[in-house]
Chains A and B, each alone.
Chain A
Amino acid sequence: EVQLVESGGGLVQPGGSLRLSCAASGFTFSSYDMHWVRQATGKGLEWVSAIGTAGDPYYPGSVKGRFTISRENAKNSLYLQMNSLRAGDTAVYYCARAYCTNGVCYTYFDYWGQGTLVTVSS
């Protein structure tokens, strides 16, 4: 059974840093692109970052230069280092697996964790 379990969320002051982790199990982690998606309370979904199987990262403009995605295949783990945090970064952060078939991954998300809440406030 595919499982994704996020951790590391919490309360942080504006300008602070936080590192999120996602522990994956039930599939060959190294063979999948992985993503972070966030959702502010009562709001919609926003893609935050992606990392390919070769470790290549991708970010939207809203977090580029502040967030860093990484992975450690030996530990089946995904990470998100968040720096220079702002109130607008307050959200539940989901780890999500890319939909892959026949060795090709597409930017759809077929499995999600339950999320970890990040609150940026003084």
Chain B
Amino acid sequence: EIVLTQSPATLSLSPGERATLSCRASQSVSSYLAWYQQKPGQAPRLLIYDASNRATGIPARFSGSGSGTDFTLTISSLEPEDFAVYYCQQRSTRAFGQGTRLEIK
């Protein structure tokens, strides 16, 4: 079973700052990893797939990188609407990480 571990659990930043979220897999998942954003009371939204490809309509400030076991979601300059919970998910077993809450400092 592949386990995804996200860090940190909570990240406190201010608008305009750069956010770096991490997802580590217990074994290699190649580049088969996605990132989702979820706001309170809403369904998740696909941001990034195959580690680094932005989904349709996702702003360029969101970028993904990594391969194998270590992955990063970067938000270059935080907008007020970016404060949410972020999940990573790997393709083969469909498992999700436990999430990182990005909150306003």
**Which A residues form the contact surface with B (CB < 8 A)?**
35, 44-47, 50, 60, 94, 99, 106-110, 112-115
Contact = CB atoms under 8 A, between A and B. Distances in A.
A108 B51 CA distance: 11
B89 interface: yes
Contacts of B99: 44-45
Contacts, number: 50
Contacts of B34: 108-109
Nearest to B96: A45
B97 to A, nearest CB: 7
Given A45-B96, A46-B96, A108 B49 contact: yes
26 contacts: A44-B87, A44-B96, A44-B97, A44-B98, A44-B99, A45-B36, A45-B44, A45-B87, A46-B96, A47-B94, A50-B94, A99-B46, A99-B49, A99-B55, A107-B91, A107-B92, A108-B34, A108-B46, A108-B49, A108-B89, A109-B34, A109-B44, A109-B46, A110-B55, A112-B43, A112-B44
Contacts of B97: 44
A110 B46 contact: yes
Interface residues of B, number: 22
Contacts of B38: 45
Nearest to B34: A108
Given A44-B98, A47-B96, A106 B46 contact: no
B57 to A, nearest CB: 10
B95 interface: yes
